[in-house]
Amino acid sequence: MQSAALTNKNVMTALILAAIAVFSLPLILPHITHESMIYHIYLHLTAFMVSTFLVIVSALAYYRGRSRRLLFMMLALSMLAVAEFVNFITATGNVPALLLPVIHVELAHMLILAMLVLFMTGVMRMG
C-alpha cells in the first residue's frame, strides 16, 4: 500500500511539473532562437520547477510531522519558489524587473533574503 502512495506522490509531482512546463511555453517560445537568452530563461524555469518540487515534498513532510521546523522549511522553500518564478517571468522580458518602491531593491532579492531568514529560523528552532 505504501508503494501506491509513493506512486501517487510521484504522479502528482510529475503532473505539476509538466503543467508548469506546458504553461511556460508561451513565455519561452518567443525566445527559443536567442541562444544567450534562452539558457538564462531555462535556468530560472528549472530552478522554479525544482523549488516547486521541494515545496511539495516539504508540504507533505509538514503534513505528516507538523513541527515548527518543518513549517519554517516549507515556508522557506515557498519563498524560493516565488523568487524563482519572479526571476523566470522577468528573464522572459514580459515583466520588467520588479523593484520595491522606496528602497529600489528587486523583489526576488528580498524573497531570497526572506527564504534565508526562514531557513535560519527552522534550523535554529527559533519561535
Classify residue 104 as left (phi > 0), alpha (psi -120 to 50) or beta. Answer: left
pLDDT in tens, 17-32: 999 999 999 999 999 9
**pTM of this prediction?**
0.87
Specify the pLDDT at position 36.
85
**Distance between CA atoms of residues 48 and 60, nearest Å:** 18
Burial class (CB in 10 A: 0-12, 13-18, 19+), 20: middle
pLDDT in tens, 63-121: 999 999 999 999 999 999 999 999 999 999 989 999 998 998 999 999 999 999 999 99
The neighbour count for residue 104, using CB atoms within 10 Å, is 7
The residues, ordered by sequence, that sit 6+ positions from 55 with a Cβ below 8 Å of its Cβ are 74, 77, 78, 81
The crossing angle, in degrees rounded to 10, of helices 68-91 and 35-65 is 160
